[in-house]
Amino acid sequence: MTTTIPAPTATGAPASPYQSYVYAYPHKTAYRPLPDRPRLSTLWAGEPKDALSLYLHIPFCEVRCGFCNLFTRIGAPDGLTGAYLDALDRQATAVRQALGDREPVRFATAAFGGGTPTFLTAAELERLCDIAEHRMGADLRAVPLSVEASPATATADRLEVLAARGATRLSLGVQSFDDAEARAAVRPQRRADVEAALGRVRDARIPVLNIDLIYGIDGQTEHTWLGSLDAALAWNPEELYLYPLYIRPLTGLGRRAGAADPAWDAQRLRLYRLGRDHLLAHGYEQRSMRMFRRADAPRQGADGYACQTDGMIGLGCGARSYTAGLHYSFDYAVGMHEIRGIVDDYVSRPAADFAHAEYGRRIDADEARRRHLLQSLLQAEGLDLADYRARFDGRTPGDDFAAELSRCAGRGWLEDGGPAAGVLRLTPEGLAHSDAIGPELFSPAVRAAMAGYERK
């Protein structure tokens, strides 16, 4: 089975507003084994190291939601989480050595993701923080530190550790406050347990609470969607992420997927607009199609910090690392059997294995420009034209992407103003169609690599 990115229709309009969520470019399905297994010390030798991002990946969850295609396994046999942290420690030691000491190494942001980092016990979370601080040299109390959690694992002892070690943002995957909708999304939880978890997060006094919600769930209505939004707003969260439901291959819901459904597209678009307008009316600012921030909320570094910038160090078997010329990681899978094999391989590796890059994709000048366009245009603030010219030898987005931008403008998805405005920005309707715009900006080479990826 291969991966496909639908092309525009004959009229030039996307077949659906929901093509693909572009949270990183190129996607890992475009990565391939690196025959030369380049040494990390060589890859990082010429890279700026004064404002790196650090990401630690924990590939464990207590359950797997029906919509989830993330790299994570369900549960962990006795001893596996400890063995995983041992391997993470070995990897961190090798990576920090590869960064060298000729110039200062400083981390500007940090994040723990997954999976569910709070699947780890409180003591294991202490060790995770120790790895970030003592092995990598990140000062977690001095930089924004974001941690993902689920209601079931957001326990008081775990939150106490995270708060004490410097967590500034806790992202809770709620998805719906309606128990029937949670069951429809194959996410077993009760609203009472979600509310209790939110209370514990607030008691921990972590500065930023983010709540994730999903629209487009089977049986969801405008009334129930507003009900979930209002239930979230009752906690006055600093951030809210609103995600459209996707049904992807090899997921629980994917096994029940049918043909494309224009009515479902229309429903998701209607619920998106309803949710957007509701949050704007309650004092939130839209930062992207998905992200809404309370106007008085403290900033947490650059928006999209975890997967958008060069100079990122990813530790763990599902993490990516980014240099200017190469994005790299370990092998990637969605199926449970394959994920278990990759995790088992990771925990068995000796330290020397972590000094090399094994899977990845080279980033040439064209891909660097595309990536910058994607990561900027899909944010509400848009792309700064002067910054683009400074980065890319005086070129403009119009020089490099005239056809793509012309299509967007023709659909009413780009603001008027042109170069004199100093910024290239999507209209509100353009932001609503971010998941159609993003894939259209993929290069032919990345499209071909993604189409050739064998799902596993």
List the one residue out of 315, 268, 311, 260 whose CA is nearest residue 289.
268
Do 383 and 300 reside in the same domain of the chain? no
Do 300 and 423 reside in the same domain of the chain? no
Structural domain range at position 403: 365-451
- Radius of gyration of the CA atoms of the chain, in A: 21
List the one residue out of 17, 24, 14, 19 whose CA is nearest residue 4.
19
Q: Is residue 271 part of a domain?
A: yes
- Tell me, what amino acid is at 307? C
Q: Is residue 347 part of a domain?
A: no
Q: Is residue 391 part of a domain?
A: yes
Give the 3-state secondary structure of residue 85: helix
Do 294 and 419 reside in the same domain of the chain? no
Q: Is residue 350 part of a domain?
A: no
The residue out of 307, 332, 357 marking a domain boundary is 307
What's phi and psi for 240, nearest 5 deg?
-135, 135
Q: Is residue 213 part of a domain?
A: yes
Do 232 and 373 reside in the same domain of the chain? no
Q: Is residue 70 part of a domain?
A: yes
Query: Residue 81: which CATH number?
Result: 3.30.750.200
Low-confidence ranges of the chain (pLDDT < 50): 1-11, 303-308
Do 292 and 374 reside in the same domain of the chain? no
The pLDDT assigned to 347 comes to 94
Q: Give the number of domains in the chain.
A: 2
In the 3-class helix/strand/coil scheme, how is 245-291 assigned residue by residue?
Answer: CCCCCCCCHHHHCCCCCHHHHHHHHHHHHHHHHHHHHCCEEECECCE
The residue out of 290, 307, 324 marking a domain boundary is 307
